[in-house]
Amino acid sequence: MKFLISIILIALLSFAVGLYLPWWSLALVAFLVAILIHQRAGKSFLTGFLALFFLWGIMAFVIDQQNQQILSAKVSQMLPLGGSGIALILVTGLIGGLVAGFAAMSGSYLRTVRR
């Protein structure tokens, strides 16, 4: 239950702060949520990772659908990811997920320190 709530909370709050703050504000969100809802380090990492992997991945996917893959094909060629829009979406999710995962893990460790 904690696991699921953490994921949902991180995803929702990251979306909200992303509207106003720089992209890396999601790390603060994941960090704070992991302090607030304590889980073991590995699990915290996973909550952060999954929250942002899905948040960024789904946002990118929806945008990509509406855009009919016009831009993702081009950017994916430039990065280079071989022109695959799906690859670009996965990399997008991966990057968001990694940052949030480590931030959440840090939050979990801080709670351990304080205990």
Partner 1 sequence: MRWIPFILSSLITIVLIYALNRSWGGTPPIGRLLSPQHGVWQNAEPADADFNIEIQAPQLKDRVEVYLDERMVPHIFAQNEADAFFVQGYVHAKFRLWQMDFQTRAAAGKLSEILGAGPDDAILNFDRNMRRLGMVYSAEIAVEEAKKDPATNTAVASYTDGVNYYINNLKKSQYPIEYKLLNYEPEQWSFLKTALFLKYMSLDLAGREDDFEMTNAKSIFTKEDFNLIYPITQDSLDPIVPKGSVFDAAGLKLTVPAVADSLYYDYKYDSLQIVPGVKPDPGNGSNNWAVAGTKTQSGRPILCNDPHLSLNLPSLWFEMQIHTPQFNSYGATFPGAPCIIIGFNDNIAWGFTNGMRDVRDYYEITYKDESRSQYLFNNEWLNTSWRVDTIKTKGRVDMIDSVAYVKLGDATCPVMYDHSYTGGRTKGDRHFAVRWKAHDPSNEQKLFYALNHAKTYAEYSEAVKNLQTPGQNIVFSAKTGEVAIWCQGSWPGKWYRQGDFVMPGSDTSFLWQGMIPQPENPHQIITGTGDRGFVSSANQYPTDTTYPYYLGGSYPPYRGLIINRYLSSMSGITPDMMKQLQVENYNVFAEMARPMLLKNIDETSLDNDEKKYLDIFKSWNLRNDVQEKGITVFSQWFDSLEVEVWRDEFKQTDLALVWPDESTLLEGLLRDSAFKFINNINTPESETLPFVVTAAFKKAVKNLKVLESEDRLEWARFKATGVRHLLRQGPLSRLKLAIGGGTHIINATKDYHGPSWRMIVHLTDDIEAYGIYPGGQSGNPGSKYYDNFVDNWAAGQYATLWLMKKGEENDKRVVGKMSFSK
Footprint on this chain of partner 1 (rule: CB under 8 A): 15, 18-19, 22-24, 27, 31, 41, 56, 59-60, 63-64, 66-68, 70-75, 77-78, 83, 88, 91-92, 95-96, 98-99, 102-103, 105-106, 109-110, 112-113
Residue whose CB is less far from partner 1, 3 or 59: 59
Looking at the Cβ atoms of 38 and 83, the one nearer to partner 1 is 83
For residue 88, what are the CA distances in angstroms to 28, 60, 77? 25, 9, 9
Residues 21 and 42: their CA atoms lie apart, in Å, by: 27
Distances (CA, A) of 76 to 20, 83, 95, 96, 104: 27, 5, 15, 17, 29
Closer by beta carbon to partner 1, 1 or else 24: 24
